[in-house]
């Protein structure tokens, strides 16, 4: 989950409700100005008259892409690929049990890129067959947690995910035949200013269910703190849980103080708070080093879902400060130019460790996240990216290598931020 991109310098930014409000107002403006807004408006603004039915779309007719071979996932362990390309040999990774009992793999996949056509990721429908292949590969490899949000592509990401799940579960089984694993779907409610009261959360949840083509969401999260109505939103989140619309609830972009408040509010209704989704990577260690939120999550048994764990591609090792010819287009290009010179020592160390473990730099960066006790949810818009991500599991960096990466990252004095600033 990332909204607006900006580079953080060594000086901490002011983290307050005012900063959140600015981001929220900008997001609202983007939604209103987006050319496809009118066709999606009723999904986010209270409707007048009978509720419009949301179409989940039809299944894709293209043949699904070949999925990576992997052993079947068991109830308490997930099979993941471990060779350098991210497919081939299978290993067992223990699943993580969240507060409330939902079991998830130690890594997921983020679906912000699936359907986003704001210009940041430049989604187009001709990507759908490969995205289906990514979904299939992740499911077959045990990476069953998929994170989306109602604002990603203004509902398009949820509709795509619903289609991908339908095609995956109904297509001809892979060889040898086996029971397919049902995905663990996480999505998010956007606390936009015009959404009033707890009912807004329940209604939005039902709309997400319609787009996903599901009767229950596995993990339902509040996308970011609202400028008001937060306690009402928390009640709405608990209502969704009590009504059986969701299996587990979480928040996103919550700092320590807000996390304690929502945790206490939900606990009063016997609703466990399962997760807090925040930005976390080797280039953004603020939640762990400067803020209390990392420790607060541990204290409250709230698991961290780490978005942008590869710093939007900066930590893949594909890019160099000396050659900008392959930099991505759009806003990330400018951010790469500003960040890569300072990030070079971190990327060099990732390359060295990648050679040591016969891995890729991106796999080392993701393994570092896992070693810190968080669940990374890297995005993937290409099948090769998904297979690379899978290869981050099934092995671990040594404690000395983790400490070495920590030291190099601190010395680099660079922070690449791509999300809403966390209040403490």
pLDDT tens, position by position, 268-318: 999 999 999 999 999 999 888 888 999 999 999 999 999 999 988 889 877
Please, what is the Cα angle at 299 between 295 and 301, to 5 degrees? 115
- What are φ and ψ of residue 247, in 5° steps? -90, -30
Report the DSSP beta bridge partners of residue 281: 284
pLDDT confidence band for 115 (50 / 70 / 90): confident
CB 224 within 8 A of CB 21: no
User: Of 6-20, 33-47, 112-126, 199-213, where does mean pLDDT reach its minimum?
Assistant: 6-20
pLDDT tens figures, 182-222: 999 999 999 998 999 999 999 999 999 999 999 999 999 99
**β-strands 96-97, 103-104 pairing:** antiparallel
CA distance 344 to 413: 11
* Closest alpha carbon to 27 in 225, 308, 282: 225
- What are φ and ψ of residue 306, in 5° steps? -100, 110
* Closest alpha carbon to 392 in 22, 32, 53, 78: 78
* Closest alpha carbon to 188 in 161, 157, 220, 159: 220
Q: Across the chain, what does the average pLDDT equal?
A: 79
Query: Higher model confidence: residue 124 or residue 66?
Result: 124
- Measured distance between the N- and C-terminal CA atoms of the chain, rounded to whole angstroms: 19
pLDDT value at 86 more than 50: no
CA distance 59 to 165: 9
- The pLDDT assigned to 118 comes to 67
What is the pLDDT averaged over residues 74-79?
A: 36
Interacting residues of 227 by C-beta distance below 8 A, sequence separation 6+: 17, 20, 21, 24, 193
Active site residue 152: yes
- The pLDDT assigned to 418 comes to 56
- What are φ and ψ of residue 245, in 5° steps? -75, -25
- The pLDDT assigned to 121 comes to 63
CA atoms within 13 A on the CB side of 226: 22
- The pLDDT assigned to 93 comes to 81
- The pLDDT assigned to 257 comes to 95
CA distances from 420 to 264, 296, 370 (A): 23, 19, 22
**β-strands 184-189, 217-222 pairing:** parallel
pTM value is 0.80
Cα 10 to the center of its chain, rounded Å: 25
Provide the 3-class DSSP secondary structure of residue 185.
strand
Choosing from 152, 220, 233, 416, which is the catalytic residue? Answer: 152
Residue 367, token pair as written in the block: 């393994």
Structural Rg of the chain based on CA atoms: 20
pLDDT value at 181 more than 70: yes
pLDDT tens figures, 351-404: 999 999 999 999 999 999 999 999 999 999 899 999 999 999 999 999 999 999
CA distances from 29 to 23, 123, 379, 381 (A): 10, 20, 25, 26
DSSP string of 234-277, one letter each residue: HHHHHHHHHTTSEEEEEEES--HHHHHHHHHHHHTTT--EEEEE
pLDDT value at 40 more than 80: no
Length of the chain, in residues: 424
pLDDT value at 151 more than 70: yes
Query: Which domains does the chain possess?
Result: 14-42+55-417 (3.20.20.100)
């Amino acid at each position: 989950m990332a909204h607006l991109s900006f580079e953080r310098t060594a000086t901490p930014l002011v983290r307050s409700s005012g900063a959140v409000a600015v981001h929220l107002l900008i997001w609202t403006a983007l939604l209103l100005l987006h050319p496809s807004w009118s066709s999606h408006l009723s999904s986010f603004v209270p409707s007048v008259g009978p509720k419009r039915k949301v179409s989940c779309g039809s299944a894709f007719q293209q043949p699904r892409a070949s999925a990576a071979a992997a052993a079947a996932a068991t109830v308490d362990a997930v099979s993941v690929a471990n060779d350098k390309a991210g497919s081939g040999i299978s290993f067992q990774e223990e699943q993580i049990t969240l507060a409330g009992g939902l079991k998830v793999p130690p890594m997921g996949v983020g679906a912000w890129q699936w359907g986003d056509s704001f210009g940041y990721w430049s989604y187009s429908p001709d990507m759908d067959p490969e995205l289906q292949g990514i979904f299939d590969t992740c499911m077959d490899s045990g990476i069953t947690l998929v994170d989306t949000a109602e604002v990603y592509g203004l509902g398009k990401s949820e509709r795509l995910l619903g289609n991908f799940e339908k095609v995956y579960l109904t297509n001809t089984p892979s060889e040898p035949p086996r029971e397919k694993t049902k995905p663990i779907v996480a999505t998010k409610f956007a606390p936009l200013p015009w959404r009033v009261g707890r009912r807004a959360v329940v209604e939005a949840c039902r709309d997400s269910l319609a787009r996903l083509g599901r009767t229950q969401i596995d993990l339902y999260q509040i996308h970011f703190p609202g400028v008001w109505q937060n306690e009402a939103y928390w009640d709405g989140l608990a209502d969704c849980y009590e009504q059986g619309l969701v299996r587990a609830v979480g928040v996103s972009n919550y700092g320590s103080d807000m996390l304690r408040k929502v945790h206490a509010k939900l606990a009063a209704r016997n609703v466990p708070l399962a997760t807090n989704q925040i930005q976390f990577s080797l280039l953004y260690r603020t939640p762990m080093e400067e803020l209390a939120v990392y420790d607060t999550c541990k204290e409250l048994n709230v698991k961290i879902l780490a978005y942008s764990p590869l710093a939007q591609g900066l930590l893949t090792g594909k890019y160099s400060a000396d050659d900008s010819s392959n930099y991505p287009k759009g806003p990330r290009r400018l951010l790469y130019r500003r960040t890569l010179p300072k990030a070079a020592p971190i990327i060099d160390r990732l390359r060295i460790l990648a050679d040591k473990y016969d891995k890729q730099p991106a796999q080392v960066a993701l393994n570092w996240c896992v070693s810190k006790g968080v669940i990374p949810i890297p995005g993937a818009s290409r099948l090769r990216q998904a297979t690379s991500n899978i290869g981050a599991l099934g092995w671990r960096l040594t404690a000395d290598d983790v400490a070495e990466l920590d030291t190099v990252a601190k010395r680099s004095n660079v922070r690449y931020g791509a999300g809403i600033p966390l209040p403490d």
